[in-house]
Amino acid sequence: LTFDAENRYLLEKLMAIDISVNFCGIKSPNPFWLASGPTTQFSWQLCRAFECGWGGAVSKTFGIRTKNVSPRYLATNLRYKERFSSISNIELISQESQEKNISELYKVKKVYPKNPLFASLMVENTKKTWQEVVKKVQDVGIDGIELNLSCPHGMPERGLGATIGQDPQLTRITCEWVKEVATVPVFAKLTPNVTDITKIAIAAKNGGADGISLINTVSCIAGVDLDTLKPLPTVGGFSTYGGYSGTGIKPIALGMVTKIAKSASLNLPISGMGGISCWQDAVKFILLGATNVQICTAVMEDGFEIIKDLKDGISKWMEEKGYNSIEDFRGKSLEFIKPLSELDTTYRVIAKIDSQKCIRCKRCFLACTNSGNGAVEFSQQEGAKVIREKCTGCGLCAIVCPLSDCITLLPISRVGKR
Ligand SMILES: Cc1cc2nc3c(=O)[nH]c(=O)nc-3n(C[C@H](O)[C@H](O)[C@H](O)COP(=O)(O)O)c2cc1C
């Protein structure tokens, strides 16, 4: 093949890959949606996002008027990086009126009719108020409704948000009221701040919900100023519980998505979110059962433009793996999750340290001496060495090592039940 022919061949192969998703009769050009938040408040934002290539979006939650405080975001940094990885926010739902929000959605649907747009709603928890707002948003042609049953700060003080999503009865009845008048799919957005997420998801399904969105933010206090002793962010001298989002919550979100996807009685589309910042994260959510994914914090930090890498990355990975559509790999990792009691106790790994690569930092030696089985020996001449007989294969040495390829965990032959 000439260089041009080879490029054309690769391009054609990539173009044959279909990353669209289709659920509840809604078609989205790709699985990447903007999650409800500060990036989905105004029509100009949503239009710009669709112009950049986002598949769909969920509007900033609206329904009752609020007044925000300032400041309302606090970043927590990755240990070795300048960029933030996660944030705590004390932002409320939209400050604007229902009418203003609905007219914003109308404008977006006019310009981008093919990109699915959900209205995220939260109103006083009565049948009348829910049904009124549902009818109004449907009139402007939105494609679906996401019920915010999950905001963990501010709104619960008014009996809304997570107060509903922490109570199976309230969750079911709210979904029922909405479904009585809904002509578009209704997703219940759930809070991770519960003991058993599946109970709440089942309640939403019993109330008629067509899908589950999860997770909203994790309730937190993200910091304290050591000079003033005031928790952060400090608003005129005081602070409050915030909602934690971004990469720090990804394992919680993946765990909860898995629980919902594995729950035999549920079988509903899942809109997964929580800490997604790259295409690899998104693939993990889909492998664990999500139908599409939503992103908020990563877009706040890096802008709508990240969509290009998300789409390119997933397409190239699918091409390499031989998948032609998202459905080809959705839920594929679920069969590998079992109760711990069913994992094989005869399977063992052992650490191997490459003495040529060891930089004599001693981190593995200290970790194994302080928290492990004392299985790492250290000398300046020879570096770190594993005492095979003592190594229990926990993997701590490999994760504290600053190098990515110095310590490997090698499977050893079965060692007999312990
Ligand atoms: C500043 C901020 C405001 C948010 N506002 C809303 C909201 O109005 N309604 C809602 O359902 N979720 C809201 N969320 C939660 C996000 O939609 C999402 O569920 C959560 O942040 C986890 O995803 P992420 O880690 O990609 O941000 C907000 C999140 C942030 C960071």
pLDDT digits (tens, 9 = 90+) for 57-97: 999 999 998 999 999 999 887 665 667 789 999 999 999 99
Confidence of residue 294 (pLDDT cuts 50, 70, 90): very high
The pLDDT tens digits of the residues spanning 177-196 come to 999 999 999 999 999 999 99
Q: Is the pLDDT of residue 7 over 80?
A: no
Phi, psi of 271 (to 5 degrees): -100, 105
The pairing of strands 407-412 and 348-353 is: antiparallel
Is the model's pLDDT at 8 over the cut of 50?
yes
pLDDT single digits (tens) 113-135: 999 999 999 999 999 999 999 99
How far apart are the CA of 217 and the centre of ligand 1, in A?
Answer: 6
pLDDT at position 81: 60
Q: Which atom of ligand 1 is nearest to the CA of 217?
A: 20
Burial class (CB in 10 A: 0-12, 13-18, 19+), 81: exposed
Residue 275, both tokens: 């800490």
Residue bearing the CA closest to ligand 1, atom 15: 216
pLDDT of residue 418: 39
Nearest-atom index, ligand 1, CA of 246 = 25
Is 70 exceeded by the pLDDT of residue 371? yes
Lining residues, ligand 1, CB within 6 Å: 35-38, 60-61, 87, 89, 91, 93, 120, 148, 151, 189, 216-217, 245-246, 249, 273-276, 295-298
For position 80, what pLDDT does the model report? 58
For range 350-377, the mean pLDDT: 97
Per-residue pLDDT at 357 exceeds 80 = yes
Indicate the DSSP class of residue 62.
Answer: B
Q: What are 245's strand-pairing partners? A: 87
Q: Whose CA is nearest to atom 5 of ligand 1?
A: 37
Report CA(91)–ligand 1 centroid distance (Å).
Answer: 9
Indicate the top mutation candidate among 32, 33, 36 to test ligand 1's pocket, ranked by most ligand atoms within 8 A of CB.
36
Q: Each residue of 201-236: pLDDT tens digit?
A: 999 999 999 999 999 999 999 899 999 999 999 999
pLDDT at residue 284 is higher than 50:
yes
For ligand 1, the distance from its centroid to the CA atom of residue 73, given in whole angstroms, is 12
Separation between Cα atoms, residue 294 and residue 271, nearest integer Å: 7
By percentage, how much of the chain surpasses pLDDT 70? Answer: 96
Catalytic residues: 151
Query: Can you state the percent helix, strand and coil of the chain, rounding each to 5?
Result: 40, 20, 40
Give the number of the atom of ligand 1 that is nearest the alpha carbon of residue 60: 8
What's the pLDDT at 9?
73
Both tokens of 376, joined, read 């790492």
Report pLDDT for 416: 46
List pLDDT tens digits, range 300-352: 999 999 999 999 999 999 999 999 999 999 999 999 999 999 999 999 999 99
Cα(118)–Cα(141) distance, integer angstroms = 10
Q: How far is the CA of 35 from the centre of ligand 1 (A)?
A: 6
Query: Does the pLDDT of residue 381 top 80, yes or no?
Result: yes
* Cα 335–chain centre separation: 21
Output the pLDDT for position 78.
Answer: 62
Ligand 1 centroid to Cα of residue 31, in Å, is 18
pLDDT at position 417 = 43
